[in-house]
Chains A and B, each alone.
Chain A
Amino acid sequence: MLLEVENLHVRYGNVEALHGVSLMVRQGEIVAILGANGAGKTTTLSAISGLLRSSAGEIRFEGRSIHKTPAHQLVAMGIAQAPEGRRIFGTLTVQENLSLGAFTQTDRVRIAKNLQWIHELFPVLAERREQLAGTLSGGEQQMLAIGRALMAQPRILLLDEPSLGLAPLLVKTIFQTLWEISSAGVTIVLVEQNAHAALKLAHRGYVMEVGKIVLEDRAEALLANSQVRDAYLGG
């Protein structure tokens, strides 16, 4: 098992946002986490990447307990996140953003190879290499956020709403690229409100409601599930 989350609790001050979330991700899988706004999807992801500290429960990566490990060390271990809202470095160039993604990497040859792969996945990032990242369009910024996370050569890639605010055609392109990334051996955990696109791509899915996992199944089964259809797929 690559990643195991067990009975995870996270608090913001006095408010508990996650009330015991458990999930697991196998090597090579694409796992979707679905749910409405405020269900705790982003909180779950941020707890895994170490940006948020859990108040109880355990997170294990390759069998090792990581819920007390600081975020910057998790990157070196192989966990990379493209966070909610993209959070690219707007006043740095596209190239500088990508280089920062490889901050923990030391092997120059591998970095260059990886950069070439990312430029193949997202050719626009190669074209706009010297441009300030803040001047990119929303879709390009999302590509940069994903590319930047991939520069860390992660074992597992955490994606927070990659489709947010993007035109349908662009969403399709990005999800196709995610498939390519997955085929290259990167495990993906995907948080999405666009449940349809996410379940088409994913192997398995979890559905969250108010800080809890309420449903867990294979993606096809979730797509066919009448509860899921009513709540998240627009009937």
Chain B
Amino acid sequence: MEEFLQQLTNGLAVGGIYALIALGYTMVYGVLKLINFAHGDLFTYGAYLGLTLLTSLALTDRLGFFMGVLVLVLMVMGLVAVLGVILERAAYRPLRESPRLSAVVSALGASIFLQNTLMLIYGARFQVYPDNILPVTALDLFGLQVPVMRVLIVLASVVMMVTLYLFIQKTKIGTAIRAAAIDQGAARLMGIDVNRVILLVFLLGPALGGAAGLMVGLYYGQINFTMGWVYGMKAFTAAILGGIGNIPGAMIGGLLLGVVEAMGAAYLSIAWKDAIAFCVLILILIVRPTGLLGERVADKI
């Protein structure tokens, strides 16, 4: 039981990270019908920017651990959001009227560019988050010893997801994003500037993805310039699992995938961890291609 609960909390932490990345894929897909393959690399930038800011500004020394990390998260989110907007301007906007395939190729090119830029700046070796800054204590949750970092990651990802959900569902701008995802032309007839909606989506998605990158750095302690690829694929799987284009779907898909993977690693074999994730992808594509929440199709002709 102890083992099971440990794996569950671990799975939720990893799943929360997957979910945050998956939201970026699903939001961009919703509005542009484009898989932003460079999104995983924006996640990696979050991890590297987090490391640089953490070590160079010594935020945790000046502000204490919690405030320091909070400021760090906000800074990383802001910076990666700017990167996201630049990516959209440079790689996607010029191809807005071109065939879909051109944008996909551009996305893959942007991914390679971002990854290699990172390698040239930081080198190809693993980078290590300083372990003396972070708390290593365990929290006692009803008799279960859970590392503080894990609890913080679960909490942070849930807070971000709930905030995003409320923003999308309850605000005027959020409704405009949903409308633009359904029918861009009709959205324009409502007076919605679709270009600004797209810009907003490229702010929000990368901000969450960047935060997720920072979390991975804080949680596992080491980062690599290629890690965006695997995390990106996992999060993409999570987005498909929940139903691509569906925001609550990405959240549920991410958490579910994290838990399934953690359980599989614990009870089958850790070597099968990635295989399990992609088996889930294959299964969902066979059994329910629209994903768990799918696109609710209710349009009458």
Contact = CB atoms under 8 A, between A and B. Distances in A.
A137 B190 CA distance: 22
Contact of A132 (B178, B179, B183, B298): B298
A149 B300 CA distance: 19
A129 B181 CA distance: 21
A81 B300 contact: no
A182 interface: no
A134 interface: yes
B162 interface: no
Given A100-B175, A100-B176, A134-B299, A90 B182 contact: yes
Contact of A100 (B185, B192, B193, B297): B192
Contact of A99 (B175, B182, B296, B298): B175
Contact of A70 (B178, B183, B193, B296): B193
Given A87-B185, A89-B179, A89-B182, A101 B190 contact: yes
A104 interface: yes
Interface in B211-253: none
Contact of B189 (A83, A136, A138): A83
A72 interface: yes
Contacts of A136: 300
A88 B176 CA distance: 13
Contacts of B190: 72, 75, 100-101, 103-104, 148, 152
Contacts of A49: 189
B194 interface: yes
Interface string B85-115: 0000000000000000000000000000000
B191 interface: yes
Given A89-B186, A99-B172, A100-B176, A76 B191 contact: yes
Contacts, number: 84
Nearest to B183: A87
A83 B192 contact: no
B288 interface: no
Interface string B142-183: 000000000000000000000000000000100110110011
Contact of A103 (B178, B185, B192, B295): B192
A80 interface: yes
Contacts of A233: none
B33 interface: no
A49 B190 CA distance: 11
A104 B189 CA distance: 10
* Size bracket, chain B contacts: 20 to 34
B298 A100 contact: no
A89 B178 contact: yes
B175 A92 contact: yes
Given A51-B189, A83-B185, A83-B186, A91 B172 contact: no
A135 interface: yes
Contacts of B194: 72
A76 B189 CA distance: 10
A72 B192 CA distance: 5
A81 B183 CA distance: 14
Given A75-B190, A89-B182, A96 B298 contact: no
A50 interface: yes
A141 interface: yes
Nearest to A52: B185
B198 to A, nearest CB: 13
B185 A134 contact: no
Contacts of B295: 91
Interface in A72-110: 72-73, 75-76, 80-81, 83, 87-92, 96, 99-101, 103-104
A202 interface: no
Nearest to B300: A134
B182 A103 contact: no
Contacts of B172: 99, 103
A73 B195 CA distance: 13
A152 B191 contact: yes
A148 B192 CA distance: 13
A73 B192 CA distance: 8
B191 A90 contact: no
A80 B190 CA distance: 8
A150 interface: no
Given A90-B182, A96-B175, A103-B172, A80 B189 contact: yes
Interface of B: 172, 175-176, 178-179, 182-183, 185-194, 295-300
Given A87-B183, A92-B178, A152-B191, 4 more contacts: A72-B194, A99-B172, A103-B172, A152-B190
16 contacts: A51-B185, A70-B188, A72-B191, A72-B192, A75-B191, A87-B186, A91-B182, A91-B298, A100-B175, A103-B172, A103-B190, A104-B190, A104-B191, A134-B298, A134-B300, A148-B190
Closest 3 CB pairs between A and B? A134-B298, A75-B191, A104-B191
